Amino acid sequence: MNLDQYTVVINGKPQGPYSLSELADLNIKPNTFIRKPGMDDYKEAHAIAELRELLGFSYQKTAPQYFAAFDQRLLASVIDHFIIFGFYTVIILISYIFIVDKNERIMAFLVPFPIIFMVKLIYGSFAEASVNQATVGKKILGIKVTDLEGTRISIGVSFIRNFSKILSVLPVFFGYLYSFLNKKNQCWHDIAANTLVIKDRLI
């Protein structure tokens, strides 16, 4: 695979491939969409380091325009809870080696059950403040958590966001459904922490 081959969107149509040197002869602007092998999706020219150097562009921070839909966010959460529940179940089954009584086994399974949700909150806080900006579920769905400018959030903001989910849950989950009424698909906990859940631009 030749990594020095670029596909350029010209008049709405992908054209190329072009070598890096050939790009200098094209009328490429900072917001021209370009892709090369190894990239998941097209990026604007100013967002690609070697093109900034070649063409003299500066990196332009732009507000996100593509927001994760409610169904994507819900599915990502289901995946995360399923994974955590899997680990929980394995731990409980191991504990059954030492618990013989049937009633005690039932209690051993049910009593610690709320821990699943606490683990999800803590795990989500660290994962969404990480380099990936996403939990496993969000990563699979191709969505991530950002601030209002599309950049990585701090661990403090991430904890505020995740623990503010109680605000979205208390009014019979209306805080989640509010995303249908918000142009940026924000739930109440997103608004509380000034965060977004975004998806990559698709061409």
**Each residue's pLDDT expressed in tens, for the chain with a length of 203 residues:** 445 688 888 888 888 888 887 888 788 888 888 888 877 778 888 878 888 887 777 766 666 778 999 999 999 999 999 999 999 999 999 988 888 888 888 888 888 888 888 999 999 999 999 999 999 999 999 999 999 888 899 999 999 999 999 999 999 999 999 999 988 999 999 999 999 999 876 54
Indicate whether 74 and 51 sit together in one domain: no
Q: Tens digit of pLDDT for each residue in 27-70?
A: 888 888 888 887 777 888 887 888 888 777 776 666 677 899 99
Q: What is the number of structural domains in the chain? A: 2
The pairing of beta strand 143-147 with beta strand 33-35: unpaired
Indicate whether 145 and 185 sit together in one domain: yes
The answer to whether 138 touches 190, Cβ cutoff 8 Å, is no
Domain extent for 117: 70-199
In a domain, 62, yes or no: no
- The phi-psi region of residue 142 (left if phi > 0; otherwise alpha if psi is between -120 and 50; otherwise beta) is left
Spatial distance between the Cα atoms of 86 and 84, rounded to a whole number of angstroms = 5
Rg (CA), the chain: 22
Indicate whether 192 and 152 sit together in one domain: yes
The C-alpha torsion from 133 through 58 and 5 to 63, rounded to 10°, is 40
In a domain, 99, yes or no: yes
- The number of beta carbons lying within 10 Å of the beta carbon of residue 183 is 6
Enter the DSSP assignment of 1.
-
